Amino acid sequence: MKPAPFKYVVPDTVDEVLALQAEHEDEAKVLAGGQSLVALMNFRMAQPSVLIDLNGLTSLSGIENGGPVIEIKALTRQLEVERSATMTALPIVAEALRHVAHVAIRARGTFGGNIAHADPASELPALMLALEAEMVATGPDGERVIPAADFFKGYFTTSLEPTEILTSVRIPTKQPGAWAFMELARRHGDFALAGVATLLDVEDGRCRSARIALFGVADTPVRATEAEAFLVGKDPVGEVLEEAARITAEALNPSSDIHAPGAYRKKLSSVLVKRAVTAALNRGDMG
């Protein structure tokens, strides 16, 4: 397959990107790693008349540890994030990234591109919900900071305006101590049928707080807010954990597709929650 004809531009600055977006609006698309967009263009599911290549913008790449937050610039390659010494402060990120496609794709695919693409079966959007990260969008009026909870609006849809780009992601470094990331895919590297990121703050055997974010089970990543609330103040094992898993699945209504029936995904979400909470308790801290 070949893409429809398009004009290709390589700006040097974010301002030039924004000017091009303002000029061409919905006709333009930005290109990051190209690992999703190029395939969509080749299948003619995306037909931008102007392709704005971000890869000349070195200012959009890198990872900064600012103490309370780690800021990952949007164009940083997924593999660089996975292997970064800075990211050892948040080991759940590397763990999640190892489930994203294959090394060759992660070497090209960008952290921000994955999040801006907002595939509901992707690992990173759910992880950003669980870590309560913030997305930094830059547009004609400057920067806008969007909590992950407000960023993912629907199937492949975010709250980014057509005149904005995602420039970085800020992740708080202070996170609950116990964590786990799990998914089930038919083959390693495939998109998951369903997956979960969980972070628990446990003291004296009781949950002080619980975060459970799921992917592959709705048209956006979702937090299992009812199950999270149920776990607070309880020892998350045995019947309590069974009930939390049941509550999680009860709140979901996943759709069926060629990969799996919705009912299977619903059941899978409860199994994954039980396994992830148990693994998080066994791990006990972020390290």
Ligand X SMILES: Cc1cc2nc3c(=O)[nH]c(=O)nc-3n(C[C@H](O)[C@H](O)[C@H](O)COP(=O)(O)OP(=O)(O)OC[C@H]3O[C@@H](n4cnc5c(N)ncnc54)[C@H](O)[C@@H]3O)c2cc1C
Residues lying near ligand X in the complex (CB under 6 A)? 29-37, 74, 100-101, 105, 109-110, 112-114, 116-117, 119, 122-124, 160, 165-166, 191
CB 30 within 8 Å of CB 52: yes
Nearest CB to ligand X, comparing residues 114 and 270: 114
Q: How far is the CB of 195 from ligand X (least distance, A)?
A: 9
For residue 70, give the 3-state DSSP assignment: strand
* Among 162, 135, 209, 194, residue whose Cα is nearest residue 20: 162
Residue among 147, 279, 280 nearest 209 (CA):
280
How far apart are CB 239 and ligand X at their closest, in Å? 34
- Considering beta carbons, is residue 161 or 201 the nearer one to ligand X? 161
Residue type, position 115, single letter? I
| Alpha carbon distance 199, 283 (integer Å) | 11
Backbone angles phi, psi at 193, to 5 degrees: -70, -35
CB of 35 vs ligand X, minimal distance in Å:
3
The distance of closest approach from Cβ of residue 100 to ligand X in the complex, given in angstroms and rounded to an integer, is 4
Q: What is the C-alpha separation between 218 and 197, in angstroms, rounded?
A: 15
Sequence-distant (≥ 6) Cβ neighbours of residue 261 within 8 angstroms: none
* Nearest distance in Å: CB 87, ligand X: 17
* Shorter beta-carbon distance to ligand X: residue 122 or 175: 122
- How far apart are alpha carbons 173 and 65 in whole angstroms? 9
User: Based on CB atoms, which residue is closest to ligand X, 29 or 274?
Assistant: 29
74 versus 197: smaller Cβ distance to ligand X:
74
